[in-house]
Every structure is written in C-alpha cells, then in structure tokens.
Amino acid sequence: MHTNVSRWMGQLGLWAVGIAVLPAQPVGLPELAVYAPRVALEEPVGVVTMPISALRYEPLVDVQARNLAEGQADVSIRGGLFEQTGFRIGALSLFDPQTGHYFAEIPIAPAFLEGPRVLTGYANAAQSWNAGAGSVAYRWRPVKTGGAMSVSAGQHRSSRAEWYQGYRDKQERWGGTLGADVAYAFSESDGTIAGGDHAFRRINVRTQWLGKTGQTDVFAGYQSKMFGWPNLYTPFNSFESENLQTVLVSVHHRETWDQGDYLDIGGYYRRNKDDYAFNRFAPLGPIHPFQHTSWVYAAGVDARRTVGGVIWMGQAVAVADELESTSLTAGRFRDRSYVKLGFGPERTWRLTAGRTLTARAGLSLDDSNRDGSAVSPRGELVLDQVEPGLGLHRLHVSYAKATQTATYTALNSAAGAGLFRGNPNLGRQVAHTMELGAAGTWGGWTTTAAVFFRQDDRLVDWTYRTGVTARTANPVDLGTTGFECVARRSTERMDWVVGYTAFSKDADYGTSLVDASFYALNYPRHRLTLAATVRLGAGWELRWDNEVRLQAENALRRSSDDAWLSAIGVYYAPRAWRGVKVSLQVDNLWDDRFEEVPAVPAGRRQGSVGLSYAY
C-alpha cells in the first residue's frame, strides 16, 4: 500500500528497541491535563492545540481534514455528515448558522476543558440540540494554581507557542473559592505544499467560583485563523484561502446534589467572521465576493432530579442567530430563532444475581420561526451487572429521533449560478437511530461495542454533477448501518486503545442528478484506530496514533481509497529539571497522499521539536 512503509517501520522498530533497553526508573513526565483519554498524542505538530486536536484519532469520531484539522476539518460521528455533529459545553450547544464547517470553531484552549465525551443514540437525542448523528460534549475544568508553557519549531518554517496560567485563591468567599485562568497561543507555517500557509492566534480569560456543590464559569475568548490550501472547498485546482475571526463569551453554572442530580444553566454570545477567497491571488475590489458574519445568542438548561424511585431529566434550549453576507443573499431569510424543550423519566429495578434493569424514555419538541416544529420520542432499556467483573456486564437497546435545520450556506446560496448552489426550500431533517450495544471486560481489555441503523430523511448533502462547475445542496434519504467497537487496556508500562468501525450506506437522491457526493457518501467502509503509549523508563515515553481506513469509492477522489495515517512522538523528561519535557513529533509519518475530503490534497509529512514546562 505504501512503498516506504517497510523501511520506515524497520527504522522505527530499531529506534524504539534502542530506547527500550534503557533501565526502567520511576521518572515520569510532568503531570499535565489529559485532554482526551483515548488518543496518544494530544498536541498537534506545529500548530495551536485546539479542542479538535484530540479528536483526530478518537475511535468514535471521524475528522476529515483539509490539510490541518485545526485549520478546517469536518467532524462526523457514526458515518454522519459534519452538520449532523454537535458540540456542547455544559448545558450549551455551540452553533454556527452559516455552515457546519465552522461548528468546531471553538476559541477555547483545551486546558480550560475536561476531556471530550462522545454522545450517540439516546444520549445525543436527550442532551444535544440540532445534531442528528452525535455530539462531542465538554465540561469546564476546575481552575487550579499552576501553569504550563510550550514552544516548538519544525519543517516548513513552522513555529508554535502556547502559555496557560491558573490561580485559585485559598481564602473562602461566599461559600467557595475564586479562581481565574488565562491562555495565549499562536502558530505560523509556510505549509507542507505551496499555498498551504497559516497564521493562528488565540487568547482566553476566565473567572470561576467553585463551591462545595457548585461551579460558575465566566469566559471570554478570541481566535483568528488565516490559512490557505489548494482546492479547499472546490475541485477546480484553485489556490483558496480563509480568514476566520471567532469571538465567544459565555456564562455557565453547574450545581450538583446527592444521587447524581444536577442543574446546568448558562448562556453565550458567539460571533464568527469569515472571508473566503476562491483565488487568493486574484485582485479584489473593496467588497470581497465571499464575506460572511454570523451572530448567535443562546441559553440552555439541563437538569436531573430524583423524586421517589424515579429520575426526571429535563432540557431547554433557546437560540437566535443572524447573518450578514456578500453572497448568501438568495434565500428567504437571514435570521432565525429556535427552541427545544425535552423531558423524560428513568427508573431502575433490582433483579436477581446482582443485576439491574433501567428503563428511560422521553419526548422533545423542536420549533423554529422559519421551519415547522417536530416532536421526537426516544426510549432505552439497559441491563447492568451491579458489581461488574470479567465478562459481559452491560447490554442496552434504544431508539431515538432527532431533528435539525439547514444552515444558511445551503439555504441562501443562489440556486442557478456560482460556485455553491443552494436551495431555499430545504426543510427540517430527521434522523431515526436504533441500536443494540454491549460492554464488558475480557483478558484485561475493557470493551464497548454497538450495532446501529440510522435513517436520515431529507438530509442536506453537497453533490457534484459532471460538467457543472459548482457543488449543489441536495436533500437525500440515507440509510446507514454501522458497527463500532472500542477496547482499552493499561499496564504499568503501556496503554493501548483499539477502535474499529464499519459502515454501509443506501442513498436515495430522488430526482436530483448526482455523479458524486462530497460528504454523505464520503465515509470509511472500514476504519481501524490504534493508540499506544509506552513508558520506556528513565523519563522516556513513546506515543503513537494510527488510523487505517478503507474508504468508499468516490469519483472526485484522485488518491487511493485506502490509507494508513499515523502520528508519533518521543518525549523525554530530564530527572534534574522537574516539569520540563522535550519532544520530537512527526505527523503523517508515512507521507500518505490520501484525500480525506475528495479532491482536497493531503497534507505532507511534517516534523517538529518542542520544549514544554509545567509548573
């Protein structure tokens, strides 16, 4: 599959063996925040670390990058589209009304957040909003006194610097303690191919009150991203670029009680400015042809309360958005408001042999002033072993319905002209998901698995027709059958996480003429991930992420449909310098040319050396 794979693996094996013979001593790396427990490398090569960085090799998330995942990448769950994936922080569902390409534009340093949780099926329908396939959920991390700084430099004139500082007051005020943290990060590079340069900046500040049962976070963040890439969004061999500027201001409070009960409540303001150039080197007039600014105002509440033997779950979401654009002007509206209300009971019965049976159900109402409303039922049965040991300890079966609305790029692009052709009549999309899952422990491996079927009705896809120099927004009825499995094992010297997913799809575009699909039919038929962390001793550590995929055929893809993507890092923590870590990282280790998005060139192999200090 790769002409240089054997040679590289041989060299890597000799290198690893050579390091492994060092005497094992209890010298570990500095204790830094864990951003993602199921991947090995949590920092990218030569670019600012972002929440999406830890998702690239996540077993249950497929990140389809245009060069850098941190530049522009589509995040899909269970073979869904990028616009079917939601992002949550506490009770707040983050959103970009212009396009799902910017759902993951989250201007927050990962040090502010706990590790991501992937919500699918029943959990996604109950806790998320406007996400048909799944969601990535975060919570605010408690502030502690301490900090970290890191710098790196590498090939293609890449450089990166990040700094984080937190402080927690020891004196108690109003029943709790006050804390604050700040973060700054930047990175620059000429890119691994011509026209692939980038310049990123991010600044964050947060204040936090932390009590015995409550936590309040007030956050403000700004992020600017300029990046270029050939064929960034179109297959016409043009040097394209984007300039994004994102502002996020949020207030969030979480209160926890006995029996796992809680209340999450908050709101946010988000502004995203986008200046896209189809040909970045063409002379531009005073008004660029593709400039967009979107605003979102949102509030959310999640609650769980136990009354007697019944647990009640409730959710309320209110969102309002607005768009200004030089090109998205052909639709019927450029502002919209949304409401979601949901509730559901849950009850558990004790059975014989230490087992319990839990039944939960619920209803959600989604409404908008521009689209029709929808009522979505859901239900789940879970059989648990109270004291799980070796073997099977959980079974579940569930059904969930979720709905969402189309974004403005699909609704307001002109239907008969231009590079992107929309449809103002696209309606509410509906996803029905049925699944059967299990979890257990065998031979030291903790394993979860599920088989599912999702039926998407009127799903908005972007399609290609031979001879038409544009992509077109078309609705598709799509059936996706899938299997997913994640297994993890940890020992004193090694951590392993193995993931496998398999998907098949049946698409019906109705009367639309489609020769290729950029998104709905761009999926891995088989995807295998392997994350390995090896503690070699004497302060040395090896981290290795891998993804092997057999992609569905696509007429737009110019590369092979098979890929082995890999990133590796070697780290050393000197005994004499506590908190210091030296790193050598390589991304795209095998220099694979696989086009993750059809017709978009792959980023090339890139290495960097880094130095970090945690205190």
Angle, vertex CA 163, rays to CA 159 and CA 164, nearest 5: 155
Stretch 300-324: mean pLDDT, rounded?
97
Does pLDDT of 15 surpass 50?
no
Helix (H) or strand (E) holding 121: helix 121-127
**Cα separation of 249 and 219, whole Å?**
6
Band (pLDDT 50/70/90 cuts) for residue 35 is low
Highest mean pLDDT among 287-291, 499-503, 510-514: 499-503
The whole-model pTM stands at 0.92
Q: Where are the beta strands (DSSP E) in 35-121?
A: 62-66, 68-76, 85-89, 92-94, 117-120
pLDDT for 31 equals 40
Band (pLDDT 50/70/90 cuts) for residue 32 is very low
Name the token pair of 415.
Answer: 């239907």
Stretch 574-587: mean pLDDT, rounded?
96
**Cα separation of 610 and 582, whole Å?**
6
Q: Count Cβ atoms below 10 Å from residue 456 Cβ, excluding itself.
A: 27
141 vs 14 pLDDT, higher one: 141
Read off φ and ψ for residue 501, nearest 5 degrees.
Answer: -135, 150
Does pLDDT of 26 surpass 90?
no
Does pLDDT of 614 surpass 60?
yes
**Cα separation of 419 and 7, whole Å?**
43
Does pLDDT of 20 surpass 80?
no
Stretch 139-154: mean pLDDT, rounded?
97
> Taking Cα atoms as reference points, which of 212, 187, 111, 240 lies closest to residue 597?
240
Cβ-based burial of 263 (10 A; exposed 0-12, middle 13-18, buried ≥19): middle
The fraction of the chain above a pLDDT of 70, given in percent, is 94
Q: Count Cβ atoms below 10 Å from residue 323 Cβ, excluding itself.
A: 23
Stretch 343-371: mean pLDDT, rounded?
96
pLDDT for 283 equals 81
Does pLDDT of 567 surpass 50?
yes
pLDDT for 5 equals 35
Does pLDDT of 33 surpass 50?
no
Band (pLDDT 50/70/90 cuts) for residue 36 is low
263 vs 20 pLDDT, higher one: 263
- Distance set, CA 426 to CA 98, 234, 457, 461, 473 (Å): 14, 22, 11, 11, 9
Name the token pair of 451.
Answer: 């088989």
Is residue 192 within 8 A of residue 605, CB to CB? The reply is: yes
pLDDT for 483 equals 98
Rg (CA), the chain: 24
Is residue 599 within 8 A of residue 16, CB to CB? The reply is: no
Cβ-based burial of 104 (10 A; exposed 0-12, middle 13-18, buried ≥19): buried
- Distance set, CA 355 to CA 246, 310, 580 (Å): 49, 18, 48
Is residue 300 within 8 A of residue 266, CB to CB? The reply is: yes
Stretch 12-35: mean pLDDT, rounded?
34
Q: Count Cβ atoms below 10 Å from residue 500 Cβ, excluding itself.
A: 17
Query: Across the chain, what does the average pLDDT equal?
Result: 92
Mapping DSSP to helix (H, G, I), strand (E, B) and coil, where does residue 72 land? Answer: strand
Does pLDDT of 2 surpass 80?
no
The residues with which 59 forms a beta bridge, in sequence order, are: none
**Which region among 51-55, 416-420, 577-581, 592-596 has the lowest average model confidence (pLDDT)?**
416-420
**Cα separation of 435 and 555, whole Å?**
31
Mapping DSSP to helix (H, G, I), strand (E, B) and coil, where does residue 298 land? Answer: strand
pLDDT for 236 equals 87
Is residue 166 within 8 A of residue 181, CB to CB? The reply is: yes
Residue entry with tokens 């996480």: 497
Stretch 417-434: mean pLDDT, rounded?
94
Does pLDDT of 233 surpass 70?
yes
Does pLDDT of 613 surpass 60?
yes
Does pLDDT of 526 surpass 70?
yes
**Cα separation of 272 and 223, whole Å?**
10
CATH number for domain 5-383+393-443+455-614, candidates 3.40.1030.10, 2.40.170.20, 3.90.600.10, 3.40.1350.10: 2.40.170.20
pLDDT for 465 equals 87
For residue 113, the 8-state DSSP code is B
Does pLDDT of 520 surpass 90?
yes
Stretch 464-480: mean pLDDT, rounded?
90
Stretch 75-102: mean pLDDT, rounded?
97
pLDDT for 580 equals 97
The residues with which 270 forms a beta bridge, in sequence order, are: 248, 296
pLDDT for 468 equals 80
**Cα separation of 342 and 324, whole Å?**
31
